[in-house]
Structures are given as structure tokens and as C-alpha cells.
Structure 1
């Protein structure tokens, strides 16, 4: 992939006599167009102070970017983006497919201001059956796949993983304990007494028989439950014929557990072995994207997202951008079912096949079982969005009440709540919880391990003082990284000043509110930050 950065040939600060001349966004874009090749690639538009405004891809960079060279005929959002543009950068790719993959990666990583953004993205949990131990362990895994073993997933939630692990315990009697516990056991644990572990740690099952159980579990996770159940029934009948009633009873319990799991999965379409189902529903300018994950013929859970986008974007545009960003760092299934067509489905298919290195089918079913599953996902998206909008309205009322109680000029957009904790003066930590206009923002939560060795054990005020100083030092650093003018020296601690009296002089009346930011200003990094002690 060839990288080509082209800086503007227009002097933004050229002078006409004594007056500086400010060059408009369309002028800057037109200057770039003169040097662009007619090749596929990705373009980035930057505003003042290097703020990334937009990332886009094109089959023909010159033709695509020339559409931005004049204001007229665009939506209000695009027109504003053009007017704010101060420079552009470009990456030439070998194909439009590569451009789509690169665009999705950059949007997800850099979160440009005018792009559709997949919010609340996270890695999905998997089940890992390890292969680096004499008695393989089944466990929940999230993150990089560095441990040697078989990975099964993705699951939509940790709860779905826990439910499947519970099945593996009941049906296949696999251990879930850590290696340290395994190595130090001298007698079976409670799970063995409950019929959930075969106790390989103390030799109640030979290792070769335990590895057979592991292989059966892998077959189950790969979708071979029916044949597996038939084999267990045959083993139970042979054990009963040989008057080995204890073994027969154990097999009976395993068969019952497996039958219960299969019955709960019987609502799934028979031919939906490996697929992701996505349905989008939009209301009041807010979309919800509901997803179902099917692997090995089983429904491995569901989850919902609320992408950030402009009101002018159509559901088709939102779903297209969502899919490209979603599969940027996640495995691609063989089939993707949607409730609405996306833009350029052939290009999306080519891009996902290039990434996954196997054939991918993107379909919008119109009838049959698959259509029923898609409609079920759409119903879930509609209900989830209804709950989201109700929660947002409730949050708006709460923020309006905060504005009234603390006599603020306008409702806050972000509230940070702090608290301390310790265990009889040891293990001192501070915590920060964040609430935004749409509810709690868990990805912004922070924990502070108290480092000041001179603090008296259990000194809550001293702990809070350290938390405040570290929090606003980080805020000041983020502010400076935006290339904004440095705060005046005499105001450098303005963001901490309203807090210090509350933590340094507990005998005085603490201030009821403070709107704080380095230099006494509100940085773009955390607009409208409200501190309530």
C-alpha cells in the first residue's frame, strides 16, 4: 500500500498589503484536487489545530474529492465540514476494497468529528479450551489470543459465556479451576460433589479419559451435539447392560443436561450454522443496531449498539458504516443477514472476504426462517431504542435538576463523581464514575491507586486531594495535546482551586459546586466538565 501525503499549496496566511487573507475550505480542497491521482484511496480532512474532521474512501480520489471543491447541493453537515477544512492528507491503495478496510480502521481508531462512529465498541468474550496442560481447562477469554488452545466464539456477552461454561461443566465435567488450585488439590472439590467436574486433579478420572471428555466438548461447541448425544445414549445402554449402574447414572445425567441445552436451541433455524444477524431501527434521529450471533448452529447471544451519526444519514448509510467498523477487529462469519440493504454490498462483500480469507454472503432475506430471525432482531432493536430514548429523557430531567440546584448557566453535559475506599487504612484507592447526557459512561470510569506514601492510613481528605490533582493534571495534559494555547502561568491551577478548600480544610464549609478546567477554560477534550463534590 502506497502512502502519499499532499500538503496544501495555498498559503493560508498570505497577505494582501497589511491585511491577512484567510483561505476558504473549498479553495484548499481545489488546490489539492490539482495534484490528486485518479486512483482508489482514503482521504482525511483536517480543521484548525489539526482536528480530524472526516475520513472517506474513494474509487477515484480526484473525482471524489472534487465534489467537495465547492459549497452547494450538500447537506448542512457536509457544507460545514467543507468550510472548516484547512488541509487534507491522502493514502493511495491498490483497490477500492483495501480503501474500504483502511477507512473503517481509521474511523474506528481516530473517531473523526463528521463520520458515523460505532460507539461503545468492545472485544467480545470467547470460550478457550487450553492445550498447554495435561488436563485442559475451559475458561472465559477476552482479548488477544496468545494462549495455546481452541477458541470458540464470539459470544455476545459474558453472561452467554457463563451459561455455556455451565453446560460444559454439567455435560462434559471439564475443570474450570486455575492451574495453581489444580496442582495443590489433595481431595475433590465441591464441583465434583455436585457432579460438575470429573476431578482429574486427584486422579478420579484417568487423563486419557479426561481428554476424551475435552474432545467431546469441542465437538459440542462445533455444532455436533446430535451425534454426540446418540453416542452418549449408546454408552449408557452398554454400561447398564454390564451392570455398571453408577456409570450409567452419570451418563444419564449428562444426556439430560445435553438434551435440555438442545431443546433451548431448537428455535434456531436448522441451516443457520454460522451467521451474524443485524437489524437497524431509527427513531427521533437516533439509531439502534441489534445483533444476534449464531455459531455451531447455536445462538450465542445478542447485543445492541447506538452509533453516533448526523440526522441527515439514512439507515442504509449508518448500517454500512457500522458493519465496516464492526468487522475491523472481529472475526467475519460465513453469512451476514440484514434487515435492510446497505450501500455498495458487493464492495463490502469483497472487503470482508479479503479480510476473512473465506467466502462471505451478505443477504437481506425476504421470506422463510431467516426472515423471521431478522424480524425478531428488528423487534429487539425497536424495543431497545425505546428504552434508550426513555432513559435519555430521564437523564435530561436529572441534568436539568442539577442545573437548577447548583444555579448553573446551562445543564451540564458531563458529571464526574469521586469517592475513596480503603481496608482499615490499607489498599487505598479512589474511584471516578462518569455520567453523560445518555446515561452512565462506563468506558470513562477510572480507578486511582493512591501513591502518596506520606498519607496517614485512612486519610480520606488526603486521598481525595491526590485523586483531584491527578485527575486535573491529566485533563490539563489532554488539553495541551490539542495544540491549544498554553494556559497563563498564574491560572495554571485554576481547575484545582475550587476543589482544594474542600479537601485541605474540612472544618470550613465546602463549596457546593465548581465548573473546572485548566486555565479557567473549557477544553474541547472535556467540554462542559462539571465537578460536584
Structure 2
């Protein structure tokens, strides 16, 4: 049977049902081209899949899904809990069209106090908690962490420098001068006193603020009584900074020491979920999410999908407060408790302080969704304007903008940004390190050719049928007729001639507002100076330029601090530090003889031979 005549619908599911039993597991529904339509879990696969053997009694979304189903796949599991975890993993991996999908599953930063040094460092940490230390968080944003770290330095005078900086200091740094560090690197504070400051900082981050304030107030009173007015003033400033930290935390619940507060608001077929992080009786910020859903998804479905995907790579707190209950609360509670290694409560509070916290999250979700819907309407009008201005058949769903950045050809990079109905899609941004060694320095045409060739060759390989949403409807090129002609030639060589492209040139005065637009085979034209579409195109071009410049600077900075020892296999931070301490520079290490390398503490004979071979075989 060919792909075009492959049978779909309830009859396919009925045939598949005969192969199933009552085991728990996960099922996948696939269309005629083996694309995953839906991933679901079941306590009994046979009973659950049987529900799909008829079209009646389902919502329009489910009826469409059943009608498109051409085959199914199942994975049995030992328990329903395993099925739940597997389901959420597959949803995140496969992104099926008919599932509720959390589109922005980012990690959140923490504050970390290191434990591998006599004088611990306090710093921001994101990602896996693999480094030895005490972690506090999560915080809603890097900005929230930075604000708290800034104030904590004022209060507790803990260092934020790296261990290597600490070891190399011979005199205090600027943080000591501005009273944000006690300078343990040069012995201005003893190890026991510094350890006491670390304990106080950790107590504060656990919410034990009253005792710390009382302790600082007593010290200030004693200093004042002993006429140590400078020390008293410093303690006064530290108390003030501590008060500032508490004030920026916003609403600090007294009866909820640790919880995530999750509010869901659905309107017009769209959803917003607000998550507030309560830790140590303090509000450590909030973040919003806009899951992909269908109009007929219930709040319980959206909330359950969100919980499973949100906590897939995060440790849940002891309590999760919800605005809407979910159907399988006991199963989700067990899954979250297993992930945390302790009991986790899922609650839908109806009164008291917990209910007020949930209502606050709901209010923020409602307001955030209102703002997003307003922005989406504005974006839709702008995309309609782009289609009209550039004679496109329909408003573009994906606009790609390209730019290059280099300094006289060095550290050259290409950059691509993407915009669509939801605004800038930063997860789709791409950077391209220019690899062609034969390019003339500063050859923008050559760089653009390499970038576009790599971009579209990969796209043609991964999606030759153009069935994904990764194909652009419009390319914006920085430049005039020459650039547009060159890009058209590149695209023709690739066999991609039906993607609209527009060149954006600065105009005769190279002034914002006088841009000229170039299209193949047509006269250049300009938009009215106050045209919203003109401002929109300017924002797109400026964003591409910003991203390209940032990428170039990062590459240049990395090259600037590059060390030849980084290229030697097996030489990590500790061995590199030992080699540099012994020889003084990487160049001296490269020139050293084998016997001298073997004499370095921490460098084995085998490693010395590897280092010697690395440098001498190359040269």
C-alpha cells in the first residue's frame, strides 16, 4: 500500500487494539508520514486505546487526531508512574501536534556557597548541582539573583572572585575598597570570622533574618558604646542593606516556608501560567509561560501537562500550590516526590494565606496573557503590513534576518535571527563561525554565501519536503541591489528560488528613516518615514546587528584569553595551574624539556610525556 493510499482513522486503531493487553504504558499516534500526532499514557493500554476506536463522544481536536492516525506505537512499563515519566519525556522530545506543550522550558539560576575552599565563594549558579556546595533557589531570573548577591555582599562581605583569582591576589581588590568584601585573600579576616559570616549568609538565605538583624544591631551598639564610630557606621550600612534585600522580595508569606505557586489563566484559546518561587518564607520572583494548547484543552489537562514537563529537569519544592486541580493528582504527587527524594504536596487551597498566594499568581497570569494577546494583535498587524509592503501572498510566519560581524576579517561570524507571529523567536537564533580560510578578509559577499549555503543545505537535508515550520517566508538582507543579486544567485545554486527576499539599504544619507528596499527585478522603493512597517524592519535589522556583534565579541574575547595548554588532552584547571606556577607562562611550558615537565608537582611521567609530545610534535 503506498503512502498516498495509507488507511487512517478508527479502523486502523481497531486493528492495532487487538495486539494490546491491560499493561500500563505509553502510546504514540502517528500520521501517514510517521510523524507523531499525540503521546499519551495509560494504566491499561487496551482500555485507553479502545476510546479512540470511534469518532463519537470526542472533542473536535480529538476527532481530527483520530482521523489522521495511520499507525500506532506502544511502550509498556512496569507501573503507571513509569508511564507518566516516559510520556513527559517523549512529549518534550517529539513535540507532538495534539499535546499540550511547554514551549519555554528554561533552567533557573540559584545562589551557591562553595564548600571546596577554606574561604567559600558566593556566586550565581545555573544548571546541574554537580559542584560541591550549598544551593539556594531557584530564583526567577538572573537579574533577581544579581540583586540579591549584590546586597548580600554588602551585608556579609563574602568574596565572589574565582579560586584562581583568590590565590593570585597580593593586595585587596576594588570590592574591598567599596566595602563589599572582607579581603580574605590577603588575610584581612581570619578563617573563623569568615566562616561565621558564611553561616550568617546561609541562615539569611534559609529565612532566619530576625536573629541576624539582632546580632548586627547588638554589634553596632557595642561599637558605638566603645566609640568605634567607623565600625558602627559600617554595621549600620550592613543592616540597611539587609533590610533592602527583604524589601525587594515583595510579598513574604509567613506560613509558607517553601513552595512553588502556580496560577493558570486560559482565554481565547491561549494560556498563561505564572510560577512564583517561595523559598525561606521569601518571594524569590516569578516567571511566566505560554504553553501550546488547543481551544478545547481543559485547565486540568493544561496544568497536568505543565507540571510533568516543568519538573522534568528541576527539583520540586516541598509544596506546590495550584490554581486548578488535575485528574491524577496522586500519581503526579508520587512522581514529584520520587524526583525530589522526599514528600511533595500538591494542593489547591481554598482559603487562607495559601489561597491568597494562588490568587496573586492567577492575577499575574491574567494580566500577562492580556498583554501578550495585545502584543500578538500588534504583531499580526505588522506582519500584514509587511506582506502588503513587499507584495507577499500572505503575512510571513517566519522572517529570517542575516548579518555578519568581523574586524578586518578577523573572528568573522554570521548571525541569523528569526521573527514571527510571537515576535522574536530567540530559540531559533543561529550563529555561524566563518570557516572558509580562502575568503579575502572583509569579504561580506563571501561570508554571506557561506552562511546561506550552510543554512539551506542543512534545511534541504532535514526537511526536503518543506513540511516543518523551519522554512522562512521572507529573507531580509542587509544591503542593496548587489547583495540581493548575490543572494539570489546563491539560492538559485541551491535550488531554492521561491523564498521571498528583500534587501534593506541605509539610503543616500545612511540615516534611520530613509532606508531603501530592493527586490529582484524591481525598482528600489522607500516607505513613509512614520510607517509602522518601517520601524518594524528597523527593529529586525537592529536585532540582527546586535546578535551578530555580541557573537563576534564573545568569539574575540574567547580567543583573547585562549591558552595553548587548553588544547592539551588531560590538562585541566588543576594541572594547568601547577604548570603555570612552575614555569611562569604557557610559552615556557611549550619550550620545556621532558625532564623539567616531570619535575612539576602533580604531573605524572605519562602526562609529562603527553604534554611534551603535544608541543614538540606540532612544532
Flag whether TM exceeds 0.5 (same fold).
yes
CA contact (8 A) 1:275 1:293 kept: yes
Instruction: Tell me the secondary structure at the aligned position of residue 50 of structure 1.
Output: coil
More moved, 340-349 vs 55-64: 340-349
Deviation at 1:422, TM superposition (A): 1.2
Instruction: Work out the CA distance in 2 between the residues paired with 1:231 and 1:365.
Output: 37
Give yes or no for the alignment of 1:305 onto 2:281. Answer: no
Give yes or no for the alignment of 1:222 onto 2:202. Answer: no
Q: How many residues align?
A: 499
CA contact (8 A) 1:415 1:530 kept: no
Please show how residues 467-478 of structure 1 align to structure 2 within 5 Å. 467-478=451-462
Give yes or no for the alignment of 1:188 onto 2:172. Answer: yes
Please show how residues 268-347 of structure 1 align to structure 2 within 5 Å. 268-347=252-331
Deviation at 1:308, TM superposition (A): 0.3
Instruction: Work out the CA distance in 2 between the residues paired with 1:508 and 1:516.
Output: 12
Instruction: Work out the CA distance in 1 between the residues paired with 2:55 and 2:365.
Output: 36
CA contact (8 A) 1:40 1:60 kept: yes
Going from structure 1 to structure 2, the CA distance change for 1:137 and 1:517 (only over 3 Å counts) comes to farther
After TM superposition, the score normalised by the length of structure 1 is 0.86
Unaligned stretches of 5+ residues in structure 1: 1-11, 15-19, 485-494, 523-528
Decide which of 110, 123, 130 is 1:139's aligned counterpart.
Answer: 123
Instruction: Work out the CA distance in 1 between the residues paired with 2:99 and 2:34.
Output: 16
Instruction: Work out the CA distance in 2 between the residues paired with 1:131 and 1:162.
Output: 20
Instruction: Work out the CA distance in 2 between the residues paired with 1:446 and 1:45.
Output: 32
Instruction: Work out the CA distance in 2 between the residues paired with 1:504 and 1:386.
Output: 40
Deviation at 1:319, TM superposition (A): 1.4
CA contact (8 A) 2:223 2:231 kept: yes
Going from structure 1 to structure 2, the CA distance change for 1:276 and 1:517 (only over 3 Å counts) comes to farther
Give yes or no for the alignment of 1:506 onto 2:490. Answer: no
Query: For 1:40-81, what per-residue CA distance to the aligned partner results, in whole angstroms no more than 9, with x for missing partners?
Result: 211111223321111001111100001112222222221221
Normalized per residue, the structure richer in helix is: 2
Match of 1:59 in 2: 43
Instruction: Work out the CA distance in 2 between the residues paired with 1:120 and 1:521.
Output: 33
Please show how residues 112-191 of structure 1 align to structure 2 within 5 Å. 112-191=96-175
Instruction: Work out the CA distance in 2 between the residues paired with 1:26 and 1:50.
Output: 17
Instruction: Tell me the secondary structure at the aligned position of residue 136 of structure 1.
Output: coil
Query: For 1:446-499, what per-residue CA distance to the aligned partner results, in whole angstroms no more than 9, with x for missing partners?
Result: 11111111122222222111111111122123215x899xxxxxxxxxx99x99
Instruction: Work out the CA distance in 1 between the residues paired with 2:261 and 2:424.
Output: 27
Match of 2:233 in 1: 249
Instruction: Work out the CA distance in 1 between the residues paired with 2:167 and 2:151.
Output: 24
Unaligned stretches of 5+ residues in structure 2: 504-619
Please show how residues 16-95 of structure 1 align to structure 2 within 5 Å. 22-95=6-79
Instruction: Work out the CA distance in 2 between the residues paired with 1:196 and 1:396.
Output: 48
After TM superposition, the score normalised by the length of structure 2 is 0.75
Decide which of 376, 380, 386 is 2:364's aligned counterpart.
Answer: 380
By relative contact order (CA 8 Å, sep 6+), the higher-ranking structure is 1
Going from structure 1 to structure 2, the CA distance change for 1:403 and 1:510 (only over 3 Å counts) comes to farther
Deviation at 1:234, TM superposition (A): 2.9
CA contact (8 A) 1:472 1:517 kept: no
Deviation at 1:512, TM superposition (A): 9.1
Please show how residues 94-105 of structure 1 align to structure 2 within 5 Å. 94-105=78-89
Please show how residues 348-497 of structure 1 align to structure 2 within 5 Å. 348-479=332-463
Instruction: Work out the CA distance in 2 between the residues paired with 1:196 and 1:206.
Output: 17
Instruction: Work out the CA distance in 1 between the residues paired with 2:303 and 2:397.
Output: 27
